[in-house]
Structure 1
Amino acid sequence: MSESDADLGAWAALSDGYGPAPCQRVARAWLRGLGANRGAPADVLVALFDTGNPLFLSFLYRADLPSGVLDAAVVHPAKAVRGTVAESGRLSPEQWSRMLASTTEPKIRDALAELAMEQAAHRDSGARVGVERAPDSDSRPPAGPAEIAAMAATVPDVATGHVSYAVWWIAALHGDADAMRQLAASPNRWIRRSVARARHLPPDVMELLAHDEDRIVRLFLTESCEDAPADVLLDVWSWWEGSFSFPGRPRNHPNFPRHDLLRFALDPEPRLRLLALADPASDAALVERFSRDPDAHVRSGAAGDPRLSPESAARLTADADQAVRGCARRNPALPPAALIRLLLDEHSAEDAAQNPAIPPVAMHRMIDLAAARL
């Protein structure tokens, strides 16, 4: 029997119920991992609802859920499912209406209705990530250069390493080009950082802040400003690993370079070197080379690349670096036999359960086996 036939047989055994029953730790790891599996279809994710355990429902916060998952959650009979999806902040008004209509318990329905109103009020408030709230609803920003200068004089400076929110009244003036010019010239870091939180800036202000000596100013530009130039985005990428507040930035910024990245393949800075894999002209040979790079960041990029050879993917599951091992375990290039072994090991099961190469029928069987062990 060929290795391919053996792999198919292993999946079939698991799918048909003849595979080994997982221990409780592996069972829990499967349920957590499958919820984060970007290859899991809607019916697999909906099947996770039946665990009724909030520990295995956090995937409802995902922004990339397949169509139909939220619709199924809002009418599910389990309180844990409805409660989790309600708190996710991802429901449309129509989905809220359906959930409230299907909730028969008066106290729970009232609590859900209150939460729906709170979330709607927050959306309508215009609150922005990275910007402090105004003291009250009557607060107004200064008008004219003299008032702006007077207010700016009351803003304390901040230390270089202190990451702060944008001052509310400066954020309120983001649409005023002249105010931005006046404030961007301030020697006060907090004021310049607050200007950098603007969604758009005049070209001359952008040019000034793009060369600011304070790198947090430049960081804020890449996170908030749609006009941030490519050279600033590349510079920040070289030293900033990202945040939960601005997921994906600066890499997912519309101005981040998408071509001519192979020039970084030999760059001494690992994070810049890693960019070469994203160039459309990169190939599997580069992925293989990077799989043996001395830097863990670069190896991680190769470990998660689907162009990686199955042999190298299997090798990297035993890498000395935890992040590299995790990326390799989630790589669909991983040989099925190796993936199945990782699924049965409590130390690797959660990462392996996120591998999109797992057949949906096997995913369903994993849920059944795991649920029986809870």
Structure 2
Amino acid sequence: MTSLAHPHLSGLGRNPAAPHDVLVRLAAHAAGRDGISLRPGRLADSVVDALLTHGDDSTAVRLHGDRISASMRARIAEHPDPAIRDAYPDFVRGMVEREVTIGIGALEEAYGQPRTALVGAPSPSLRAAVARAWFDRPLAVQAALLADPDPQVRAAATEHRQPGVPPEWRERCLADPDPAVRVNVARYVPLTSEQFAQLMRSGDEELNQAVAENPHLSAEMAERLMGIDDPLVRVAVAQSRHVDAATRDRLYALVEAERAAGSIAAQVALSWNFTEPDWLREAPLDERMSYLDCRHTTFRRVLASCRDLPEEAWRRLDNDPDLAVRRAAARRPDTPPDVLETLVRRHGDVSHIRPPLVDHPNFPRHVLRSFLHEPDPHVRYVALQDTDLPVQGLRQLAAAAEPFLRRGVARHPNLTDDLLEQLLWDPDPQVADDAAAHSALRPTRMYRILIAAGL
């Protein structure tokens, strides 16, 4: 991560053009080691040797797998300091004990055994970790996990819909003495009327919420859930395929009234609930089209994620009052260029949804540099997607008050030496870090950075 006190060193550690001798010298400084830890790809043996010489167990924990050579792995395995020797295995074991999900490959490396052996390990925490990480495990392995004597293992095995719970195991899992197992399974397996009734008799709030999210509920089950006084249940039932428009409106109105009265649970149900009426994507076209005017945004957003709607539907979704709906609609393969440009010019792009809209095949990339003149800085940032943006435009953005714009310039491939030098001395450490990480930074400048730091 960026060193607030030494951003040039942390950035230089990430620089893909940094020669090996630069990295070796950087390894003598904590900020340099932090930067090197973020470099992709394999590290040269000389760099690993320097990291082991100057670093500690927090450095060694990042030296594992394909990131280092086989000879360096052997050296770490034989290191005289147990803190160095066991740094990565101890880190993984700590994650296992804290029930933090970690990749199956990491488990195999840290414990030195294949997943087929780890799934039968004496430690229930390790067996549970394997259940959370081995997503494509065979059904025979899943059955063994479902029968595990430890509840944390059974809970981990039922956490996700895949590989799922075989029909012959559903009754047993739904009656499991551990509440986490019952909640997990009630959320996604098809329920018989008897199983549903048994779950409802429990009166457990979390179990009610899980059942309400189940996509396989019948109309009778959905009707029974309507009487439960819980905002999360009401919103889940409102999204059911079995609920008519009037009932849906009534359920949402109840929750909205609770939110207006200050209910945190209602606020969570309406604003932080990530369930969606996924069934709508598979419904017949005529049924889906009836939701074009639905007053509840989540239905229009799911509709906009379909790809077979008629032109009139796209016209209306492209002009939907909700921005999330318009962005979902814009991701269809044949979105008109003017729709894409207008959407991005008014609201910018979003970095957390990949690929960005400017990478859509129909986006008119020749207009990108015109975004330089937009008043909204988040929209101006889009101009940086033009890899041939003229230096004059880069200078304009490099002088912006917003650090995120200057950071974008510091990562741009067209950066000139003088602009790079300017950004190296930016008052924002993240800007300076990104400038030091730029592959255009000349080796002579890298060595001056090292000398200035006494390296």
Q: 1:42 to 1:16 in 2, by over 3 A?
A: closer
The Cα shift of 1:313 comes to 0.8
Other-structure match for 1:100: 115
Other-structure match for 2:303: 195
Other-structure match for 1:156: 252
1:37 to 36, 39, 43: 39
> Which segments of 5 or more consecutive residues in structure 2 lack a partner in the other structure?
1-17, 78-85, 138-158, 165-186, 188-208, 223-239, 260-266
Other-structure match for 1:7: none
The Cα shift of 1:211 comes to 0.5
Separation of aligned partners in 1, 2:364 and 2:134: 41
Q: 1:79 to 1:119 in 2, by over 3 A?
A: farther
Q: 1:236 to 1:171 in 2, by over 3 A?
A: farther
Does residue 315 in structure 1 map to residue 422 in structure 2? yes
User: Is contact 2:395–2:419 with CA below 8 Å preserved after alignment?
Assistant: yes
Other-structure match for 2:320: 212
Residue pairs, 1:84-95, within 5 angstroms: 87-89=101-103
Other-structure match for 1:183: 291
Separation of aligned partners in 1, 2:348 and 2:251: 27
For 1:114, give the aligned amino acid.
A
Separation of aligned partners in 2, 1:192 and 1:13: 56
- Deviation digits for residues 29-51 of structure 1 (CA, Å, limit 9, x no counterpart): 3343223234x43667x958996
- Relative contact order (alpha carbons < 8 A, sep ≥ 6): 1 or 2 greater? 1
Higher helix share: 2
> Which segments of 5 or more consecutive residues in structure 1 lack a partner in the other structure?
1-9, 61-66, 347-365, 367-374
The Cα shift of 1:202 comes to 0.9
Separation of aligned partners in 2, 1:172 and 1:71: 49
- Greater Cα radius of gyration, structure 1 or 2: 2
Secondary structure, counterpart of 1:174 in structure 2: helix
Separation of aligned partners in 2, 1:97 and 1:172: 43
Q: 1:317 to 1:71 in 2, by over 3 A?
A: closer
User: Is contact 1:284–1:308 with CA below 8 Å preserved after alignment?
Assistant: yes
Other-structure match for 2:196: none
Other-structure match for 1:5: none
- Deviation digits for residues 117-176 of structure 1 (CA, Å, limit 9, x no counterpart): 56867373799xxxx98623643689x9985535633551669x97555653x2211133
Other-structure match for 1:122: 160
Other-structure match for 1:363: none
- Deviation digits for residues 305-349 of structure 1 (CA, Å, limit 9, x no counterpart): 132122221211222445433432321222435445657899xxx
Residue pairs, 1:219-368, within 5 angstroms: 219-221=327-329, 230-231=337-338, 233-234=340-341, 235-236=343-344, 239=347, 242=350, 244=352, 246=353, 249-253=356-360, 255-279=362-386, 281-284=388-391, 286-293=393-400, 296-339=403-446
Separation of aligned partners in 2, 1:293 and 1:53: 37
The Cα shift of 1:186 comes to 1.4
TM-score between both structures, scaled by the size of structure 2: 0.51
Q: 1:90 to 1:341 in 2, by over 3 A?
A: farther
Q: 1:15 to 1:225 in 2, by over 3 A?
A: closer
Residue pairs, 1:6-17, within 5 angstroms: none
Residue pairs, 1:59-70, within 5 angstroms: 68-69=66-67
Does residue 135 in structure 1 map to residue 213 in structure 2? yes
Secondary structure, counterpart of 1:334 in structure 2: coil
The Cα shift of 1:290 comes to 3.8
Secondary structure, counterpart of 2:281 in structure 1: coil
For 2:252, give the aligned amino acid.
P
The Cα shift of 1:304 comes to 1.2
Structure 1 window deviating more from structure 2 (210-219 vs 113-122): it is 113-122
Separation of aligned partners in 2, 1:305 and 1:291: 11
Secondary structure, counterpart of 2:299 in structure 1: helix
